[in-house]
A = this chain, B = another copy of it.
Amino acid sequence: MILDKDQKILIVGLGLIGGSYAKGLTKKGYDVSAIDINKTAIDYALKNGIIARGADFADPALVGEADIVIFALYPHVFVQWIKDNQQLFKSGAIITDVTGVKSCIVYDIQAMLRDDVEFIAAHPMAGKEVYGVENSDEGIFRQANYIVVPTDRNTFEAIEICKAIGTTLDFARISSLPPMAHDEMIGFVSQLTHCIAICLMTCSKSDHLVDYTGDSFRDLTRIARINENMWSELFMLNKDALLRQMEKFMNEFEVFHEMLRNDDVEGMKAKMRLSTEKRELFNKPKGEEKV
């Protein structure tokens, strides 16, 4: 079984990411349906040709016909949905997701899932600071990473199908990481950065500084606009890894603070040279990043 256009794809959770998946897959010619408890989202998607069929409940007909089911829900809602409705899955169906943390859910779901259905985890590293299917946009995947997060229980076939979803959605880079390594990485590049942005935004009575704010401050606080329900849940689900990353950053920041306090100009310069050198590696190809 590979990804082909005879297969029926069901998306459960039609928000920003679910909606963007639906748009991208529909535009590529796939048969896409969706389930969301929010009837407005389903109606919007039907009316705009984003999905072929939809329901605002766990419709046995939609679930039962789906060869591939993609979950784009909050982690705890997602796990509960599987518990409540897994009897509806078609035998042989491949289940995947878009959840931002993995260790805490992948093993649980694989352990409880029916033997004739396979769960292969994926993490599309893309988003926006706005919500809902109305703001969905398959273009957000084009410069983004798509990470397949397999365990020892996954089959080669399911991993390939999961990668094919990423390819079809035009992700820039598709890679693979085990759950623990994924969560450690996410704790650093995504969750720590959000913690920093939040604290930079809240640490000062800075409202009067709007008139003087340049690109630096705006860049560092762009992600301070944050969905508190989703992110507090993701932080809690990756608590240990995130605490470690926060401590690593705090230690480094204190070292720099000490250098400044002690007039250690050479020490500060060495840190700046190192940061400059390391940042070079992260440059996007010419033209994709402002300099």
Contacts and interface: CB of A to CB of B under 8 A. Distances in A.
Contact of A225 (B204, B250, B261, B275): B275
A291 B202 CA distance: 20
A193 interface: yes
Interface stretch (A31-39, A55-63, A67-75, A206-214): A206-214
A189 B217 contact: yes
A222 interface: yes
A187 to B, nearest CB: 10
A239 B260 contact: yes
Interface residues of A, number: 93
A200 B220 CA distance: 11
Interface in A156-182: 173, 175, 177
Contact of A220 (B143, B196, B202, B260): B196
A243 interface: yes
A216 B201 contact: no
A218 to B, nearest CB: 6
Interface string A206-247: 110111111111111111111111011001100100110111
A193 B200 contact: yes
Given A185-B212, A209-B188, A257 B247 contact: yes
B216 A189 contact: yes
Interface string A253-286: 1111100110101001101111110111110100
B275 A226 contact: yes
A195 interface: yes
Contacts of A4: none
Contacts of A232: 265, 268-269, 272
Contact of A272 (B219, B220, B226, B275): B226
Given A219-B223, A268-B235, A291 B130 contact: yes
Contacts of A194: 216
A201 B253 contact: no
